Structure 1
Amino acid sequence: MEKKDALINWFKTNTKGYLLFSGGFDSSAVLGAAMQAKANIIPIWVNNGFNRAKADDMAQQAKSLGAPELKIINVTPGQVVVDNPEKRCYHCKSHILSLAPQDGLPLFDGTTASDLGNYRPGKQALDEYKVQSPLAELGITSWETKDIAIALGADPDFADHESCLATRINYNKLLTPERIKAIYKIENYLIKQTNDYHVRCRIDDEDHMRIELSKPESYALLADASVREKLFEMGGDVCLFVTIDVKRSRPNEYDKRIKY
Protein backbone atom coordinates (compact mmCIF):
# COMPACT_ATOMS: atom_id res chain seq x y z
CA MET A 1 0.00 0.00 0.00
CA GLU A 2 1.94 2.97 -1.32
CA LYS A 3 -0.17 5.59 0.41
CA LYS A 4 0.05 3.82 3.75
CA ASP A 5 3.83 3.84 3.43
CA ALA A 6 3.78 7.49 2.41
CA LEU A 7 1.74 8.33 5.51
CA ILE A 8 4.12 6.42 7.76
CA ASN A 9 7.09 8.17 6.17
CA TRP A 10 5.39 11.55 6.68
CA PHE A 11 5.58 10.98 10.43
CA LYS A 12 9.26 10.15 10.26
CA THR A 13 9.84 13.87 9.71
CA ASN A 14 6.86 15.10 11.78
CA THR A 15 7.77 13.30 14.96
CA LYS A 16 6.02 15.20 17.76
CA GLY A 17 2.60 16.67 18.33
CA TYR A 18 -1.05 16.03 19.11
CA LEU A 19 -3.72 14.37 16.98
CA LEU A 20 -7.40 15.29 17.10
CA PHE A 21 -8.68 11.73 17.36
CA SER A 22 -12.28 10.68 16.69
CA GLY A 23 -11.79 6.92 16.45
CA GLY A 24 -13.09 6.90 12.87
CA PHE A 25 -11.19 5.58 9.88
CA ASP A 26 -9.56 8.89 8.98
CA SER A 27 -7.95 9.80 12.29
CA SER A 28 -7.29 6.11 13.00
CA ALA A 29 -5.22 5.88 9.81
CA VAL A 30 -3.23 8.91 10.94
CA LEU A 31 -2.67 7.57 14.46
CA GLY A 32 -1.74 4.10 13.24
CA ALA A 33 0.79 5.51 10.79
CA ALA A 34 2.29 7.77 13.45
CA MET A 35 2.70 4.81 15.81
CA GLN A 36 4.28 2.73 13.04
CA ALA A 37 6.76 5.55 12.47
CA LYS A 38 7.45 5.60 16.22
CA ALA A 39 6.53 9.27 16.31
CA ASN A 40 5.65 10.85 19.65
CA ILE A 41 2.07 11.74 18.73
CA ILE A 42 -0.51 11.96 21.53
CA PRO A 43 -4.13 11.40 20.45
CA ILE A 44 -6.72 13.77 21.93
CA TRP A 45 -10.41 12.88 22.11
CA VAL A 46 -12.93 15.59 22.86
CA ASN A 47 -16.02 14.54 24.80
CA ASN A 48 -18.59 17.25 24.08
CA GLY A 49 -21.77 15.23 24.62
CA PHE A 50 -22.41 14.77 20.89
CA ASN A 51 -20.45 11.52 20.54
CA ARG A 52 -21.98 8.18 19.64
CA ALA A 53 -19.05 6.36 21.30
CA LYS A 54 -17.96 6.19 24.93
CA ALA A 55 -14.59 7.01 26.48
CA ASP A 56 -13.60 3.40 27.25
CA ASP A 57 -14.26 2.30 23.67
CA MET A 58 -12.34 5.28 22.32
CA ALA A 59 -9.37 4.45 24.54
CA GLN A 60 -9.44 0.86 23.27
CA GLN A 61 -9.38 2.03 19.65
CA ALA A 62 -6.35 4.21 20.36
CA LYS A 63 -4.65 1.31 22.12
CA SER A 64 -5.36 -1.03 19.20
CA LEU A 65 -3.50 1.40 16.97
CA GLY A 66 -0.47 1.37 19.25
CA ALA A 67 -0.99 4.57 21.23
CA PRO A 68 0.28 4.31 24.83
CA GLU A 69 -2.22 6.93 26.02
CA LEU A 70 -5.34 8.84 25.03
CA LYS A 71 -5.80 12.37 26.31
CA ILE A 72 -9.48 13.16 26.96
CA ILE A 73 -10.80 16.72 27.05
CA ASN A 74 -14.32 17.20 28.41
CA VAL A 75 -16.10 20.14 26.81
CA THR A 76 -19.42 21.85 27.51
CA PRO A 77 -20.66 23.32 24.21
CA GLY A 78 -21.19 27.08 24.24
CA GLN A 79 -24.51 28.69 23.40
CA VAL A 80 -23.35 29.60 19.89
CA VAL A 81 -22.93 25.86 19.21
CA VAL A 82 -26.21 24.91 20.88
CA ASP A 83 -28.00 27.48 18.69
CA ASN A 84 -26.83 25.34 15.75
CA PRO A 85 -26.11 27.91 13.03
CA GLU A 86 -24.79 26.90 9.62
CA LYS A 87 -21.25 27.56 10.89
CA ARG A 88 -21.79 25.42 14.00
CA CYS A 89 -18.80 23.22 13.17
CA TYR A 90 -16.57 26.28 12.97
CA HIS A 91 -17.58 27.50 16.42
CA CYS A 92 -17.38 24.00 17.90
CA LYS A 93 -13.96 23.29 16.39
CA SER A 94 -12.63 26.70 17.45
CA HIS A 95 -13.66 26.04 21.04
CA ILE A 96 -12.06 22.60 20.98
CA LEU A 97 -8.81 23.91 19.51
CA SER A 98 -8.65 26.66 22.11
CA LEU A 99 -8.53 23.93 24.77
CA ALA A 100 -5.79 21.89 23.09
CA PRO A 101 -2.32 21.91 24.69
CA GLN A 102 -0.54 25.20 24.09
CA ASP A 103 3.04 24.00 24.39
CA GLY A 104 4.23 24.85 20.91
CA LEU A 105 3.87 21.35 19.48
CA PRO A 106 1.87 20.99 16.24
CA LEU A 107 -1.69 19.74 16.00
CA PHE A 108 -2.73 17.14 13.42
CA ASP A 109 -6.14 15.94 12.29
CA GLY A 110 -7.79 13.43 9.95
CA THR A 111 -9.07 15.74 7.21
CA THR A 112 -8.78 13.86 3.91
CA ALA A 113 -8.46 14.90 0.28
CA SER A 114 -12.16 14.00 -0.08
CA ASP A 115 -13.15 16.67 2.43
CA LEU A 116 -11.59 19.59 0.60
CA GLY A 117 -14.39 20.13 -1.91
CA ASN A 118 -17.28 19.76 0.55
CA TYR A 119 -19.00 22.14 2.95
CA ARG A 120 -16.67 21.98 5.95
CA PRO A 121 -16.94 25.14 8.10
CA GLY A 122 -14.72 23.48 10.69
CA LYS A 123 -11.88 23.65 8.15
CA GLN A 124 -11.69 27.42 8.72
CA ALA A 125 -10.95 26.81 12.40
CA LEU A 126 -8.30 24.24 11.49
CA ASP A 127 -6.63 26.79 9.23
CA GLU A 128 -6.76 29.50 11.90
CA TYR A 129 -5.05 27.23 14.41
CA LYS A 130 -2.59 25.97 11.77
CA VAL A 131 -3.65 22.33 12.19
CA GLN A 132 -1.81 20.02 9.80
CA SER A 133 -3.77 17.45 7.79
CA PRO A 134 -1.36 14.78 6.50
CA LEU A 135 -4.06 12.79 4.68
CA ALA A 136 -5.15 15.80 2.65
CA GLU A 137 -1.55 16.83 2.09
CA LEU A 138 -0.71 13.40 0.67
CA GLY A 139 -3.87 13.22 -1.46
CA ILE A 140 -5.34 10.33 0.54
CA THR A 141 -9.13 10.01 0.24
CA SER A 142 -11.70 8.82 2.76
CA TRP A 143 -12.13 5.61 0.74
CA GLU A 144 -8.43 4.88 1.08
CA THR A 145 -8.20 5.60 4.80
CA LYS A 146 -10.49 2.68 5.62
CA ASP A 147 -8.05 0.11 4.25
CA ILE A 148 -5.08 1.92 5.79
CA ALA A 149 -6.69 2.16 9.23
CA ILE A 150 -7.71 -1.51 9.27
CA ALA A 151 -4.25 -2.58 8.12
CA LEU A 152 -2.75 -0.61 11.01
CA GLY A 153 -4.98 -2.19 13.66
CA ALA A 154 -8.22 -0.19 13.82
CA ASP A 155 -11.43 -1.95 14.85
CA PRO A 156 -13.59 -1.41 11.75
CA ASP A 157 -16.89 -1.76 13.60
CA PHE A 158 -15.93 0.92 16.09
CA ALA A 159 -14.56 3.18 13.35
CA ASP A 160 -17.93 2.92 11.62
CA HIS A 161 -19.75 3.46 14.91
CA GLU A 162 -18.38 6.83 15.98
CA SER A 163 -20.14 9.89 14.59
CA CYS A 164 -21.06 13.42 15.69
CA LEU A 165 -24.74 13.53 16.64
CA ALA A 166 -24.90 17.32 16.37
CA THR A 167 -24.86 16.87 12.59
CA ARG A 168 -28.23 15.11 12.77
CA ILE A 169 -30.22 18.21 13.72
CA ASN A 170 -31.12 20.67 10.97
CA TYR A 171 -29.46 24.07 11.14
CA ASN A 172 -30.99 26.69 13.44
CA LYS A 173 -32.82 24.01 15.44
CA LEU A 174 -31.50 23.86 18.99
CA LEU A 175 -29.14 21.08 20.04
CA THR A 176 -31.09 20.24 23.17
CA PRO A 177 -30.10 17.38 25.49
CA GLU A 178 -33.48 15.75 24.85
CA ARG A 179 -32.96 15.69 21.09
CA ILE A 180 -29.39 14.41 21.32
CA LYS A 181 -30.49 11.68 23.76
CA ALA A 182 -33.33 10.53 21.50
CA ILE A 183 -31.02 10.38 18.47
CA TYR A 184 -28.41 8.45 20.46
CA LYS A 185 -30.96 5.92 21.71
CA ILE A 186 -32.53 5.28 18.31
CA GLU A 187 -29.23 4.94 16.43
CA ASN A 188 -27.71 2.62 19.00
CA TYR A 189 -30.88 0.52 19.16
CA LEU A 190 -30.86 0.01 15.39
CA ILE A 191 -27.12 -0.68 15.34
CA LYS A 192 -27.54 -3.40 17.95
CA GLN A 193 -30.40 -4.94 15.98
CA THR A 194 -28.79 -4.94 12.52
CA ASN A 195 -25.13 -3.77 12.71
CA ASP A 196 -26.18 -0.92 10.42
CA TYR A 197 -23.50 1.54 11.52
CA HIS A 198 -24.53 4.02 8.85
CA VAL A 199 -27.97 4.60 10.36
CA ARG A 200 -28.73 8.30 10.75
CA CYS A 201 -31.57 9.64 12.88
CA ARG A 202 -32.20 13.22 11.77
CA ILE A 203 -34.43 15.96 13.14
CA ASP A 204 -35.58 18.20 10.30
CA ASP A 205 -37.79 20.52 12.35
CA GLU A 206 -39.76 20.60 15.59
CA ASP A 207 -42.26 18.04 14.28
CA HIS A 208 -40.32 15.64 12.04
CA MET A 209 -37.73 13.00 12.86
CA ARG A 210 -36.39 11.12 9.82
CA ILE A 211 -34.43 7.87 10.11
CA GLU A 212 -32.00 6.97 7.31
CA LEU A 213 -30.95 3.33 6.93
CA SER A 214 -28.35 1.63 4.74
CA LYS A 215 -28.93 -2.14 4.97
CA PRO A 216 -31.79 -4.26 3.57
CA GLU A 217 -32.11 -6.01 6.93
CA SER A 218 -32.69 -2.63 8.58
CA TYR A 219 -35.72 -2.00 6.38
CA ALA A 220 -36.90 -5.59 6.90
CA LEU A 221 -36.76 -5.05 10.65
CA LEU A 222 -39.48 -2.42 10.34
CA ALA A 223 -42.02 -5.10 9.40
CA ASP A 224 -42.09 -5.91 13.11
CA ALA A 225 -44.74 -3.72 14.74
CA SER A 226 -42.95 -3.85 18.10
CA VAL A 227 -39.85 -2.31 16.49
CA ARG A 228 -41.90 0.53 15.02
CA GLU A 229 -43.51 1.11 18.40
CA LYS A 230 -40.08 1.13 20.06
CA LEU A 231 -38.76 3.73 17.61
CA PHE A 232 -41.74 5.99 18.23
CA GLU A 233 -41.40 5.48 21.96
CA MET A 234 -37.80 6.72 21.79
CA GLY A 235 -38.46 9.61 19.40
CA GLY A 236 -42.04 10.63 20.08
CA ASP A 237 -41.17 12.83 23.04
CA VAL A 238 -39.15 15.22 20.87
CA CYS A 239 -41.02 15.06 17.54
CA LEU A 240 -44.63 14.60 16.51
CA PHE A 241 -43.70 12.33 13.59
CA VAL A 242 -41.05 9.59 13.52
CA THR A 243 -40.51 8.63 9.88
CA ILE A 244 -38.31 6.40 7.70
CA ASP A 245 -36.50 7.90 4.70
CA VAL A 246 -36.96 5.81 1.54
CA LYS A 247 -33.43 6.75 0.39
CA ARG A 248 -30.40 5.11 2.02
CA SER A 249 -28.31 7.03 4.56
CA ARG A 250 -26.13 9.80 3.15
CA PRO A 251 -24.39 13.07 4.09
CA ASN A 252 -26.57 15.90 5.33
CA GLU A 253 -28.84 16.93 2.45
CA TYR A 254 -29.29 20.43 3.86
CA ASP A 255 -25.63 21.22 3.18
CA LYS A 256 -26.48 21.28 -0.53
CA ARG A 257 -28.48 24.46 0.00
CA ILE A 258 -25.61 26.34 1.60
CA LYS A 259 -23.62 28.71 -0.61
CA TYR A 260 -19.92 28.70 0.22
Structure 2
Amino acid sequence: MSTMQKPNEMLLDKYEKLKGYLRSLESVAVAFSSGVDSTFLLYAAKEALGDKVMAVTASSCSFPKRELNEALEYCKSQGIKHEVVESEELKIEGFSHNPKNRCYLCKHELFEKIRKIADDNGMKEVAEGSNLDDNGDYRPGLQAVAELGVKSPLREIGFSKEQIRIMSNYLGLPTWDKQSFACLSSRFPYGEEITEKKLSMVDKSEQLLLDLGFHQLRVRIHGDMARIELDPAEFDKFMQEDVRTKVYDKLKEFGFTYVTLDLKGYRTGSMNETLSADELKSATRN
Protein backbone atom coordinates (compact mmCIF):
# COMPACT_ATOMS: atom_id res chain seq x y z
CA MET A 1 0.00 0.00 0.00
CA SER A 2 1.39 3.39 -0.95
CA THR A 3 -1.66 5.62 -0.58
CA MET A 4 -4.71 5.61 1.64
CA GLN A 5 -7.87 7.70 1.49
CA LYS A 6 -8.60 10.20 4.25
CA PRO A 7 -11.31 9.36 6.79
CA ASN A 8 -14.75 10.82 6.10
CA GLU A 9 -16.92 12.48 8.72
CA MET A 10 -18.70 9.22 9.53
CA LEU A 11 -15.41 7.44 10.24
CA LEU A 12 -14.10 10.32 12.35
CA ASP A 13 -17.32 10.18 14.35
CA LYS A 14 -16.88 6.44 14.80
CA TYR A 15 -13.40 7.07 16.21
CA GLU A 16 -14.86 9.50 18.73
CA LYS A 17 -17.38 6.83 19.73
CA LEU A 18 -14.50 4.38 20.21
CA LYS A 19 -12.73 6.79 22.56
CA GLY A 20 -15.99 7.34 24.42
CA TYR A 21 -16.43 3.60 24.83
CA LEU A 22 -12.87 3.28 26.11
CA ARG A 23 -13.40 6.12 28.60
CA SER A 24 -16.41 4.24 29.94
CA LEU A 25 -14.10 1.36 30.89
CA GLU A 26 -12.24 3.75 33.26
CA SER A 27 -8.95 1.82 32.97
CA VAL A 28 -7.81 -0.96 30.66
CA ALA A 29 -5.03 -3.44 29.92
CA VAL A 30 -4.73 -3.90 26.15
CA ALA A 31 -3.52 -7.22 24.71
CA PHE A 32 -0.86 -5.77 22.42
CA SER A 33 0.82 -7.68 19.59
CA SER A 34 2.19 -4.63 17.69
CA GLY A 35 -0.13 -5.51 14.81
CA VAL A 36 -2.42 -3.17 12.87
CA ASP A 37 -5.48 -3.66 15.07
CA SER A 38 -3.94 -3.72 18.55
CA THR A 39 -1.72 -0.72 17.80
CA PHE A 40 -4.75 1.29 16.71
CA LEU A 41 -6.69 0.17 19.79
CA LEU A 42 -3.81 0.99 22.13
CA TYR A 43 -3.37 4.44 20.58
CA ALA A 44 -7.08 5.20 20.99
CA ALA A 45 -7.00 3.91 24.58
CA LYS A 46 -4.03 6.16 25.36
CA GLU A 47 -5.86 9.15 23.90
CA ALA A 48 -9.01 8.31 25.85
CA LEU A 49 -7.55 7.25 29.19
CA GLY A 50 -4.07 8.70 29.42
CA ASP A 51 -2.12 6.92 32.16
CA LYS A 52 -5.05 4.64 32.96
CA VAL A 53 -3.99 2.26 30.20
CA MET A 54 -1.27 -0.36 29.90
CA ALA A 55 -0.16 -2.84 27.26
CA VAL A 56 0.49 -6.55 27.77
CA THR A 57 2.36 -8.57 25.15
CA ALA A 58 2.69 -12.35 25.10
CA SER A 59 6.10 -13.82 24.37
CA SER A 60 6.31 -17.33 22.95
CA CYS A 61 7.95 -19.40 20.21
CA SER A 62 4.93 -18.77 17.97
CA PHE A 63 5.42 -14.98 18.21
CA PRO A 64 8.36 -13.74 16.10
CA LYS A 65 11.06 -11.75 17.87
CA ARG A 66 10.61 -8.91 15.40
CA GLU A 67 7.00 -8.44 16.53
CA LEU A 68 8.00 -8.42 20.21
CA ASN A 69 10.73 -5.86 19.54
CA GLU A 70 8.25 -3.63 17.69
CA ALA A 71 5.84 -3.86 20.63
CA LEU A 72 8.58 -2.88 23.07
CA GLU A 73 9.76 0.01 20.91
CA TYR A 74 6.26 1.38 20.30
CA CYS A 75 5.27 1.42 23.98
CA LYS A 76 8.57 3.04 24.93
CA SER A 77 8.12 5.75 22.29
CA GLN A 78 4.57 6.48 23.47
CA GLY A 79 5.32 6.35 27.19
CA ILE A 80 2.85 3.51 27.71
CA LYS A 81 3.32 1.11 30.62
CA HIS A 82 4.12 -2.29 29.14
CA GLU A 83 4.50 -5.78 30.51
CA VAL A 84 5.61 -8.91 28.65
CA VAL A 85 4.10 -12.20 29.79
CA GLU A 86 5.49 -15.62 28.98
CA SER A 87 2.78 -17.64 27.28
CA GLU A 88 4.26 -20.87 25.99
CA GLU A 89 1.44 -22.53 24.09
CA LEU A 90 3.32 -25.79 23.59
CA LYS A 91 3.03 -26.42 27.33
CA ILE A 92 -0.78 -26.24 27.23
CA GLU A 93 -2.24 -29.74 27.37
CA GLY A 94 -3.36 -30.83 23.91
CA PHE A 95 -2.17 -27.70 22.09
CA SER A 96 0.76 -29.28 20.25
CA HIS A 97 -1.59 -31.84 18.66
CA ASN A 98 -3.16 -28.86 16.87
CA PRO A 99 -6.87 -29.55 17.46
CA LYS A 100 -9.49 -27.42 15.74
CA ASN A 101 -10.01 -25.46 18.96
CA ARG A 102 -6.28 -24.74 19.27
CA CYS A 103 -6.86 -20.99 19.27
CA TYR A 104 -9.39 -21.32 22.10
CA LEU A 105 -6.89 -23.19 24.29
CA CYS A 106 -4.24 -20.55 23.67
CA LYS A 107 -6.43 -17.47 24.10
CA HIS A 108 -8.06 -18.80 27.27
CA GLU A 109 -4.69 -19.36 28.91
CA LEU A 110 -3.32 -16.04 27.67
CA PHE A 111 -6.24 -13.88 28.74
CA GLU A 112 -6.30 -15.46 32.19
CA LYS A 113 -2.68 -14.27 32.56
CA ILE A 114 -3.48 -10.81 31.19
CA ARG A 115 -6.45 -10.54 33.56
CA LYS A 116 -4.15 -11.21 36.53
CA ILE A 117 -1.68 -8.58 35.32
CA ALA A 118 -4.55 -6.12 34.90
CA ASP A 119 -5.76 -6.81 38.45
CA ASP A 120 -2.25 -6.46 39.87
CA ASN A 121 -1.93 -3.07 38.18
CA GLY A 122 -5.35 -1.75 39.13
CA MET A 123 -6.82 -1.97 35.63
CA LYS A 124 -10.57 -2.60 35.64
CA GLU A 125 -10.88 -4.16 32.18
CA VAL A 126 -8.96 -6.17 29.60
CA ALA A 127 -9.38 -5.38 25.90
CA GLU A 128 -8.28 -7.08 22.68
CA GLY A 129 -8.11 -5.93 19.08
CA SER A 130 -10.37 -8.17 16.99
CA ASN A 131 -12.33 -6.22 14.38
CA LEU A 132 -15.61 -6.56 12.49
CA ASP A 133 -14.03 -8.69 9.75
CA ASP A 134 -13.09 -11.36 12.29
CA ASN A 135 -16.77 -12.25 12.68
CA GLY A 136 -16.77 -13.94 9.28
CA ASP A 137 -14.04 -16.53 9.80
CA TYR A 138 -13.45 -19.50 12.08
CA ARG A 139 -12.23 -17.80 15.26
CA PRO A 140 -12.54 -20.11 18.30
CA GLY A 141 -10.35 -17.69 20.24
CA LEU A 142 -13.32 -15.31 20.37
CA GLN A 143 -15.14 -17.88 22.49
CA ALA A 144 -12.42 -17.52 25.14
CA VAL A 145 -12.73 -13.72 24.86
CA ALA A 146 -16.46 -13.96 25.56
CA GLU A 147 -16.11 -16.45 28.42
CA LEU A 148 -13.54 -14.35 30.26
CA GLY A 149 -15.35 -11.04 29.82
CA VAL A 150 -12.61 -9.49 27.70
CA LYS A 151 -13.74 -6.38 25.83
CA SER A 152 -13.50 -6.10 22.04
CA PRO A 153 -13.90 -2.35 21.43
CA LEU A 154 -13.21 -2.41 17.69
CA ARG A 155 -15.89 -5.04 17.10
CA GLU A 156 -18.22 -3.31 19.56
CA ILE A 157 -18.05 0.01 17.68
CA GLY A 158 -17.96 -1.70 14.28
CA PHE A 159 -14.50 -1.02 12.83
CA SER A 160 -13.51 -3.00 9.74
CA LYS A 161 -9.88 -3.71 8.87
CA GLU A 162 -9.94 -1.16 6.06
CA GLN A 163 -11.34 1.52 8.38
CA ILE A 164 -8.63 0.75 10.95
CA ARG A 165 -5.95 1.21 8.28
CA ILE A 166 -7.50 4.50 7.09
CA MET A 167 -7.64 5.88 10.64
CA SER A 168 -4.16 4.57 11.47
CA ASN A 169 -2.76 6.41 8.44
CA TYR A 170 -4.64 9.57 9.42
CA LEU A 171 -3.30 9.35 12.99
CA GLY A 172 0.26 8.76 11.79
CA LEU A 173 0.60 5.24 13.17
CA PRO A 174 3.52 3.27 11.69
CA THR A 175 1.36 0.16 11.33
CA TRP A 176 -1.20 1.61 8.92
CA ASP A 177 0.16 -0.43 6.00
CA LYS A 178 1.76 -3.25 7.99
CA GLN A 179 1.04 -6.74 6.76
CA SER A 180 -1.64 -8.68 8.65
CA PHE A 181 -0.16 -11.18 11.06
CA ALA A 182 -1.42 -14.19 12.98
CA CYS A 183 0.53 -16.42 15.35
CA LEU A 184 2.81 -18.92 13.63
CA SER A 185 0.73 -21.86 14.87
CA SER A 186 -1.91 -20.85 12.33
CA ARG A 187 0.45 -22.03 9.56
CA PHE A 188 -0.16 -25.70 10.44
CA PRO A 189 -3.01 -27.90 9.15
CA TYR A 190 -5.30 -29.06 11.94
CA GLY A 191 -4.00 -32.32 13.37
CA GLU A 192 -0.37 -31.80 12.35
CA GLU A 193 1.90 -31.65 15.39
CA ILE A 194 3.24 -28.21 16.27
CA THR A 195 6.86 -28.23 17.44
CA GLU A 196 9.34 -25.52 18.29
CA LYS A 197 11.56 -26.66 15.40
CA LYS A 198 8.75 -26.38 12.85
CA LEU A 199 7.70 -22.98 14.21
CA SER A 200 11.29 -21.82 13.75
CA MET A 201 11.30 -23.09 10.15
CA VAL A 202 8.18 -21.07 9.38
CA ASP A 203 9.46 -17.98 11.18
CA LYS A 204 12.80 -17.96 9.34
CA SER A 205 11.06 -18.56 6.00
CA GLU A 206 8.64 -15.67 6.46
CA GLN A 207 11.42 -13.39 7.67
CA LEU A 208 13.39 -14.21 4.51
CA LEU A 209 10.45 -13.23 2.30
CA LEU A 210 9.93 -10.00 4.25
CA ASP A 211 13.62 -9.20 3.90
CA LEU A 212 13.29 -9.75 0.14
CA GLY A 213 10.61 -7.05 0.05
CA PHE A 214 7.42 -9.11 -0.10
CA HIS A 215 4.57 -7.54 1.84
CA GLN A 216 1.54 -9.69 2.63
CA LEU A 217 2.49 -13.35 2.94
CA ARG A 218 2.23 -16.67 4.75
CA VAL A 219 4.42 -19.77 4.73
CA ARG A 220 2.13 -22.72 5.48
CA ILE A 221 3.76 -25.96 6.57
CA HIS A 222 2.52 -29.35 5.39
CA GLY A 223 4.87 -31.99 6.77
CA ASP A 224 8.17 -31.35 4.98
CA MET A 225 6.57 -29.05 2.36
CA ALA A 226 6.33 -25.26 2.47
CA ARG A 227 3.31 -23.69 0.74
CA ILE A 228 4.02 -20.01 0.15
CA GLU A 229 1.08 -17.59 -0.09
CA LEU A 230 1.84 -14.18 -1.62
CA ASP A 231 -0.20 -11.31 -2.99
CA PRO A 232 -0.71 -12.32 -6.67
CA ALA A 233 0.60 -8.87 -7.65
CA GLU A 234 3.99 -10.04 -6.37
CA PHE A 235 4.05 -13.35 -8.27
CA ASP A 236 6.20 -11.90 -11.08
CA LYS A 237 8.77 -10.68 -8.59
CA PHE A 238 8.85 -14.10 -6.91
CA MET A 239 9.37 -15.87 -10.23
CA GLN A 240 12.51 -13.91 -11.07
CA GLU A 241 15.20 -16.58 -11.23
CA ASP A 242 17.49 -15.10 -8.59
CA VAL A 243 14.62 -14.61 -6.12
CA ARG A 244 13.02 -18.00 -6.77
CA THR A 245 16.37 -19.77 -6.47
CA LYS A 246 17.29 -17.99 -3.26
CA VAL A 247 13.94 -18.77 -1.64
CA TYR A 248 14.18 -22.41 -2.64
CA ASP A 249 17.76 -22.83 -1.43
CA LYS A 250 17.18 -21.06 1.89
CA LEU A 251 13.96 -22.93 2.71
CA LYS A 252 15.75 -26.20 1.99
CA GLU A 253 18.45 -25.01 4.36
CA PHE A 254 15.80 -24.25 7.00
CA GLY A 255 14.57 -27.86 6.83
CA PHE A 256 11.92 -28.09 4.10
CA THR A 257 12.18 -30.82 1.45
CA TYR A 258 9.69 -29.26 -0.98
CA VAL A 259 8.90 -25.59 -1.64
CA THR A 260 5.72 -24.55 -3.47
CA LEU A 261 3.87 -21.36 -4.42
CA ASP A 262 0.11 -21.33 -3.82
CA LEU A 263 -1.50 -20.24 -7.11
CA LYS A 264 -4.51 -18.68 -5.39
CA GLY A 265 -2.25 -16.38 -3.40
CA TYR A 266 -2.49 -14.98 0.10
CA ARG A 267 -5.77 -15.16 2.00
CA THR A 268 -6.57 -15.18 5.70
CA GLY A 269 -7.54 -18.45 7.33
CA SER A 270 -6.65 -20.71 4.40
CA MET A 271 -6.14 -23.60 6.82
CA ASN A 272 -9.84 -23.28 7.67
CA GLU A 273 -10.78 -24.27 4.10
CA THR A 274 -10.76 -27.90 5.28
CA LEU A 275 -13.47 -27.26 7.90
CA SER A 276 -17.05 -28.22 7.25
CA ALA A 277 -19.83 -25.66 6.87
CA ASP A 278 -21.31 -26.77 10.20
CA GLU A 279 -17.97 -26.23 11.99
CA LEU A 280 -17.65 -22.75 10.54
CA LYS A 281 -21.24 -21.87 11.37
CA SER A 282 -20.85 -23.07 14.94
CA ALA A 283 -17.65 -21.08 15.45
CA THR A 284 -18.94 -17.78 14.06
CA ARG A 285 -21.86 -17.88 16.51
CA ASN A 286 -19.46 -17.63 19.48
Question: CA offsets, 1:174-223, max 9 Å, x none?
Answer: 111221111111111111112x23111001x3242100111644542432
Structure 2 residue aligned with 1:55: 68
Query: 2: CA distance between counterparts of 1:58 and 1:218?
Result: 30
Paired with 1:219 and 1:51, the residues of 2 have a C-alpha distance of: 29
Find the aligned partners of 2:160 and 2:180 in 1 and give their Cα distance: 19
- Are the equivalent residues in 1 in contact too, given 2:53–2:80 (CA < 8 A)? no
Tell me how far apart the structure 2 counterparts of residues 7 and 173 of structure 1 sit (CA, whole Å). Answer: 40
Are 2:46 and 1:35 aligned? Answer: yes
Q: Does 1:145 align with 2:164?
A: yes
Q: Indicate whether 1:99 and 2:113 are aligned.
A: yes
Q: C-alpha distance in 1, partners of 2:136/2:238?
A: 36
Aligned partner letter, 2:84: I
* C-alpha distance in 2 between matches for 1:131 and 1:82: 25
Which residue is equivalent to 1:164? Answer: 183
Q: Which deviates more, 119-128 or 218-227?
A: 218-227
Question: For the structure 1 residues 12 and 168, does the alpha-carbon distance in structure 2 shift closer, same or farther, using more than 3 Å as the test?
Answer: same
Q: Compute the TM-score of the two structures, normalised by the length of structure 1.
A: 0.89
Q: Match for residue 100 of structure 2?
A: 86
User: Percent of counterpart pairs with the same letter?
Assistant: 24
3-state DSSP of counterpart to 1:86: coil
- Report what 1:242 is aligned to: 259
Alignment RMSD (CA, Å): 2.3
Inter-partner Cα distance in structure 1 for 2:162 and 2:177: 16
Higher percent of residues as helix:
2
- Matching residue within 19, 23, 29 for 1:8: 19
Q: Does 1:45 align with 2:62?
A: no
Distance in 1 (alpha carbons) for counterparts of 2:96 and 2:239:
32
Deviation at 1:114, TM superposition (A): 1.5
CA 1:157/1:180 → structure 2, altered by over 3 Å: closer, same or farther? farther
Query: Residue 114 of structure 2: SS of its match in structure 1?
Result: coil
Match of 1:20 among 20, 27, 31: 31
Q: Which amino acid aligns with 1:57?
A: E
Question: In structure 1, what is the Cα distance between the partners aligned to 2:187 and 2:106?
Answer: 15
CA distances 1:143-171 after superposition (whole Å, capped 9, x unpaired): 21112233334212784265311111111
- 2-structure distance, mates of 1:237, 1:6: 47
**CA distances 1:65-98 after superposition (whole Å, capped 9, x unpaired):** x342221111222242221111110001111112
Alignment partners' CA distance in 2, 1:23 and 1:31:
9
The aligned residue for residue 70 of structure 1 is: 82
CA deviation after TM superposition for structure 1 residue 226, in Å: 6.2
- Contact preservation (8 Å) 2:107, 2:144: yes
The answer to whether the Cα contact below 8 Å between 2:99 and 2:191 also exists between their aligned partners in 1 is: yes
In the superposition, the TM-score normalised over structure 2's length comes to: 0.81
CA 62–147 in structure 1, closer or farther in 2 if over 3 Å, else same? farther
One-letter amino acid of the counterpart of residue 113, structure 2:
L
Amino acid at match of 1:155: P
Residue type of the partner of 2:219? Answer: C
Q: Is the 8 A contact 2:237 2:243 kept in 1?
A: no
